[in-house]
Amino acid sequence: MAGERETQTKGGARARGRTLIDKIWDAHEITRLPSGQSLLFVDRHFIHDGTSQAFEKLDIEGHGVRSPERTIGTADHYVPTRGGLAALGDPARADMVLRLERDADRFGITRFGYGDARQGIVHVVGPELGLTLPGFVLVCGDSHTSTHGALGAFAFGVGASEVAHVLATQTLWQARPGSMRIMLSGRLGAGVTAKDLILHIIARIGAGGATGHVIEYAGPAIEALSMEGRLTVCNMSIEAGARAGLIAPDETTFRYLEGRPYAPTDALWERALESWRGLRSDEEAVFDREVAVDAAAVAPTVTWGTSPEEAVPVTAAVPDPTGEPDAERRRRMQQALAYMDLQPGTPMARIQVDRVFIGSCTNGRIEDLRAAAGLLRGRRTLVPTMVVPGSRSVKDAAEAEGLDRVFIAAGAEWREPGCSMCVAMNGVDLVAPGERCASTSNRNFPGRQGRGARTHLMSPAMAAAAAVTGHIADARGLAPAAGDGV
């Protein structure tokens, strides 16, 4: 079986070394077909305001919800980030938000609707409330469900028909994925973040480099990351083609989870810890693929094209397709440069931007907002800048620290939580055609942030640096400004 190898024990018996994904998979496998498809039990199912099609399928087929207590809903994709539902200007979009509440209520599903104190982006809300736990199989109708793997859960996105299947049965048919370990040695340098790290990894292995695999991130550089940094790394695993991203739970994970509203307590907490500490790949485990990365060699990284793999250090220049030997790759580079309206050889740090977006399930947590505020404090933005917290909890925490006053004093907009300009689904938070946006989101394909929009992915600190300079800039070159900016 992939991911395992037999080793000789002292007593002569054979022992199998298993990867982390093997352990989670085996614990959840109900049955396996001769074709190799396995029926998995699903511990947690997240739904959002784009899930109405799955409920329609339940109604058509006459199914109920098998385990409503294992399903949680939150409004995030279509919600407005200012002005209330009327500000959307589109009754259909407003109804998507309200339909989540109606569907959840009729089946007894807990939901965090628009205006609820627990509402926010599903991949921010799940971890911060303790709804995501180590060892879980967790699914959601959203590709960036891989985020939750940062806590040691096998978490992945599913389509509408699969959402309906999970609602009706609390199970899901899946083919066992391959295993891939990315071992990260060293430490990230000063001013280099988890977002830079994952962009560096995707640029190295490619947008399809992990297709068919679950990536397990390991090594000193991962162990040194905060939980929020780990969430960022796992969030973008899907951008490398991975089925999911995983990080073995450790003391950082346990400190993060303890005391959260839905996390186990008292004796259950102690029992959970005992179980969670065994959730790591055995030393004897064999991975289908291994990649080594020196974290010390990573620099602040920015995308230049229309895929997260088209990224370079901020100190580099836009690459020249004529130097690419692969014809298909060369063609894609040429197309990307034409869409982005960039010339080969242009220094990345000279590319002007028209606006900045700070937020998303990748970088909308309190640690991200602190990093952005650190660059904006005492400065003024030169281009329109929107800051959107990932949840109401994040918003409340930021306001308690005075970060909102820093953003507003700098000239940025301080918004309500939601997916916002990352996916541009509410029809209001958009990048205009031809505009160039420095964004902390996770995707930069044509039209992602609006028709004709041009997106450069980067970290919160780098986005803030772009906001105050009007162009892509190395945040490491901007010393903290004098004064508190409030």
By C-alpha distance, which of 362, 381, 370, 468 is closest to 423? 362
As a residue count, the chain comes to 486
Q: Which residue has the tokens 């030169």?
A: 382
CA distance linking residue 235 with residue 242, whole number of Å: 11
Q: State the average pLDDT over residues 130-141.
A: 98
Q: How far is CA 226 from the centre of its chain?
A: 15
Q: Where are the beta strands (DSSP E) in 68-163?
A: 71-74, 110-112, 137-140, 154-157
Q: What's the pTM?
A: 0.95
Residue type, 474: D
In order, the DSSP letters of 325-348 are --HHHHHHHHHHHHHHT--TT-BG
**pLDDT recorded at residue 15:** 47
**pLDDT recorded at residue 480:** 67
The confidence band for 264, taking pLDDT boundaries of 50, 70 and 90, is very high
Kind plus residue range of the DSSP H or E element containing 470: none
Convert the pLDDT of each residue in 95-121 to its tens digit: 999 999 999 999 999 999 999 999 999
Task: Say yes or no to pLDDT of 439 above 80.
Answer: yes
By C-alpha distance, which of 460, 348, 344, 479 is closest to 412? 460
Say if strands 244-246 and 289-294 run parallel, antiparallel, or are unpaired: unpaired
What structural domains does the chain harbor? 1-299 (3.30.499.10), 301-477 (3.30.499.10)
**pLDDT recorded at residue 10:** 36
CB of 444 closer than 8 Å to CB of 207: no
Q: State the average pLDDT over residues 3-22.
A: 56
Q: How far is CA 464 from the centre of its chain?
A: 20
**pLDDT recorded at residue 397:** 98
Look at the alpha carbons of 198, 199, 204, 205 in this order and tell me if their dihedral is positive or negative: positive
**pLDDT recorded at residue 232:** 98
Task: Say yes or no to pLDDT of 432 above 70.
Answer: yes
Q: State the average pLDDT over residues 468-472.
A: 98
Tokens standing for residue 383:
């281009």
Q: How far is CA 439 from the centre of its chain?
A: 14
> What is the three-state SS of 280-316?
CCCCCCCCCEEEEEEHHHCCCEEECCCCCCCEEECCC
| pLDDT above 70 coverage of the chain, percent | 95
CA distance linking residue 392 with residue 351, whole number of Å: 34
* Dihedral, CA of residue 120, residue 126, residue 130 and residue 136, to nearest 10: 170
Convert the pLDDT of each residue in 239-252 to its tens digit: 999 999 999 999 99
Task: Say yes or no to pLDDT of 93 above 50.
Answer: yes
SS3 label, residue 157: strand
By C-alpha distance, which of 451, 193, 447 is closest to 306? 447
Look at the alpha carbons of 422, 424, 429, 431 in this order and tell me if their dihedral is positive or negative: positive
- Burial class from Cβ neighbours inside 10 Å (0-12, 13-18, 19+) for residue 86 reads exposed
